[in-house]
């Protein structure tokens, strides 16, 4: 992580909640980019298990999902030799900085977060203070590592903007303590839509599992979900206004194959939606097959995974402590 004098790489931080499954949205919006930028930047990636308890969790399931999510990241090519990979609850500075920064974040700012509004409507019987304060925890994740870049999907943009506001306010009061972070969006895939309702974001908490395809789904399940993807009443595969379902599938196909929309239109000229949906499903299933195999291999040795997580936490802890100490000094905590 310590950049050398000649090579000052930017620092990247991002995270993912351990919610049981990783969708194509998570993969294309975030994890795929993570695996591709590890040479270019000093990267820090974490499993956000503290964020996960903003909705009620079964303790045993949360523990299991956390280790599984860690294994999925490694299977996707996140390399613990090159990047720091850890589990958020292993680094106490995240919770500690959250308290400090809560005192520099306004109630009004947090009330305006669209994800808070959505989630408090969805979990009306459990609108807890953690759900409200969630963006401050996310700001702490980012600011502890002095990250300049945050590779995320578009739904996290508002949280990163709030992080900038908090950092700017703190720096304004105490001098240059935090690096200003920016979002890093993928070229294709920053907002993958539901396969059943292309007006809605693809989400792992969708009660209808046909709305998402998950990384660990079986090959035929993935293909079936794409075959039943909702499209429109036309027949031509082309990217256009009013064709949200096809546009979404073209975005997914483009992200996996690197083909432009023009190339995709040419490839499927004269073919119907059925052929196109099958091709997208097969492409996704082909891309996920080696990841699934690597995941299965890694899950065979949980002790090794735990050892890697502990090593990641140790490295993360050293960096996070440095920032936290500085913040405490600036604020005047004795």
The residues of the shown chain that bind ligand TYM, judged by CB under 6 A, are: 13-17, 25-26, 29-30, 48, 51, 138, 141-142, 150, 152-153, 155-156, 189-192, 201-202
Distance of alpha carbon 28 from the chain centroid: 9
Reading the block at residue 35, the tokens are 């695996």
Map residue 277 onto helix, strand or coil: helix
Shortest distance, CB of residue 63 to ligand TYM, whole angstroms? Answer: 17
Return d(Cα 213, Cα 28) in angstroms, integer.
12
State the catalytic residue, choosing from 204, 224, 259, 315. Answer: 204
Structural contact between residues 32 and 255, judged by C-beta atoms closer than 8 angstroms: yes
Shortest distance, CB of residue 203 to ligand TYM, whole angstroms? Answer: 6
Shortest distance, CB of residue 50 to ligand TYM, whole angstroms? Answer: 8
Residue with Cβ nearer ligand TYM (155 or 197):
155
Q: In Å, what is the CA distance from 216 to each residue of 106, 253, 331?
A: 40, 18, 46
Residue with Cβ nearer ligand TYM (154 or 267):
154
Residue 278: half-sphere exposure toward Cβ, Cα within 13 Å: 6
Instruction: Output the residue with the shortest Cβ distance to ligand TYM.
Output: 29
Structural contact between residues 101 and 171, judged by C-beta atoms closer than 8 angstroms: no
Residue with Cβ nearer ligand TYM (136 or 237):
136
Active site residue 201: yes
Shortest distance, CB of residue 300 to ligand TYM, whole angstroms? Answer: 25
Active site residue 204: yes
The residue to which tokens 């789904």 are assigned: 217
Residue with Cβ nearer ligand TYM (27 or 170):
27
Residue with Cβ nearer ligand TYM (206 or 267):
206
Shortest distance, CB of residue 20 to ligand TYM, whole angstroms? Answer: 11
Residue with Cβ nearer ligand TYM (159 or 243):
159
Structural contact between residues 213 and 196, judged by C-beta atoms closer than 8 angstroms: no
Cβ-count burial 12-30 (b if 16+ within 10 Å, e if not): bbbbbbbbbbbbbbbbbbb
Shortest distance, CB of residue 12 to ligand TYM, whole angstroms? Answer: 10
Element (H, E) at 151: strand 149-151
Residue with Cβ nearer ligand TYM (159 or 277):
159
Structural contact between residues 43 and 34, judged by C-beta atoms closer than 8 angstroms: yes
Backbone angles phi and psi of 147, in degrees to 5: -70, 135
Shortest distance, CB of residue 150 to ligand TYM, whole angstroms? Answer: 5
Return d(Cα 45, Cα 86) in angstroms, integer.
7
Sign, CA torsion 35/211/277/273? negative
State the catalytic residue, choosing from 119, 225, 243, 277. Answer: 119
State the catalytic residue, choosing from 190, 201, 225, 243. Answer: 201
Q: In Å, what is the CA distance from 17 to each residue of 54, 69, 87?
A: 11, 8, 10
Name the residues annotated as catalytic.
Answer: 119, 201, 204
């Amino acid at each position: 992580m310590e950049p050398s004098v000649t090579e000052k790489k930017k620092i990247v931080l991002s995270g993912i909640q351990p919610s049981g499954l990783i969708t194509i949205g998570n993969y294309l919006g975030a994890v795929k980019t993570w695996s591709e930028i590890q040479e270019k930047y000093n990267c820090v990636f974490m499993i956000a298990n503290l964020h996960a308890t903003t909705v009620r969790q079964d303790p045993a399931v949360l523990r299991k999902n956390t280790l599984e999510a860690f294994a999925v990241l490694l299977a996707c090519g996140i390399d613990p030799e090159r990047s720091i990979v850890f589990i958020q609850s292993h680094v106490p500075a995240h919770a500690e900085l959250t308290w400090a920064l809560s005192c520099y974040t306004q109630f009004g700012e947090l009330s305006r977060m669209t994800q808070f509004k959505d989630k408090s409507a969805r979990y009306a019987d459990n609108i807890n203070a953690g759900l409200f304060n969630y963006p401050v925890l996310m700001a702490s994740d980012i600011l502890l590592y002095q990250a300049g870049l945050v590779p995320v999907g578009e739904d996290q943009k508002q949280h990163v903007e709030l992080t900038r506001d908090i950092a700017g306010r703190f720096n304004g009061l105490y001098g240059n303590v935090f690096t200003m972070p920016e979002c890093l969006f993928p070229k294709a895939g920053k907002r993958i839509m539901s396969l059943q309702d292309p007006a809605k974001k693809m989400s792992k908490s969708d009660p209808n599992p046909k709305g998402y395809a998950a990384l660990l789904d079986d090959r035929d399940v993935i293909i079936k979900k794409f075959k039943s993807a909702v499209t429109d009443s036309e027949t031509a595969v082309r990217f256009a206004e009013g064709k949200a379902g096809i546009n979404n599938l073209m975005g997914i196909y483009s992200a996996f194959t690197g083909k432009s929309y023009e190339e995709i239109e040419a490839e499927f000229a004269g073919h119907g939606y059925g052929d196109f949906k099958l091709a997208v499903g097969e492409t996704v299933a082909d891309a996920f097959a080696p990841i699934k195999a690597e995941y299965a291999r890694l899950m065979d040795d949980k002790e090794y995974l735990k050892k890697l997580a502990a090593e990641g936490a140790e490295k993360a802890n050293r960096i996070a402590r440095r920032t936290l100490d500085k913040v405490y000094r600036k604020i005047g905590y004795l």
